Amino acid sequence: MKLVEPPSCSSPSTIVFVGRNRRGQWVAQEQNGLYGGLFVSRAQAVKYARFENGQHPGTIIELPREIELDMGKRPHTIVSQRAA
């Protein structure tokens, strides 16, 4: 029996960037750094991005510039303000 990990994204509007790094490897990275990876081909990077974002190809953006995988990013924190 093959176990499959569920997608990491929680929203279908999650944007995933796909492009090459300076070494020529393909990178797929969620806009806030929640998930990402390095791949040997564009097809594998896009396949991963589609799986992780819930099969929404319209939210995958291929970048013409270099992109480096950065898993140290922190998701944006929503700060609630209370009225005084």
| Rounded distance between C-alpha atoms, residue 3 and residue 81, angstroms | 42
Residue count of the chain: 84
| Predicted TM-score (pTM) of this structure | 0.69
On whether the CB atoms of residues 13 and 59 are closer than 8 A, the answer is: yes
The residue ranges of every structural domain in the chain are 14-84
On whether the CB atoms of residues 19 and 27 are closer than 8 A, the answer is: yes
Q: pLDDT for 22-42, tens place per residue? A: 999 999 999 988 899 999 999
Overall fold of domain 14-84: Double Stranded RNA Binding Domain (3.30.160)
Question: How does residue 4 score in pLDDT terms, banded at 50, 70 and 90?
Answer: very low
Q: Of 35, 53, 42, 34, which Cα lies nearest the Cα of 18?
A: 42
pLDDT at residue 59, rounded to an integer: 87
52-69 mean pLDDT? 88
Q: Please, what is the average pLDDT of the chain? A: 78
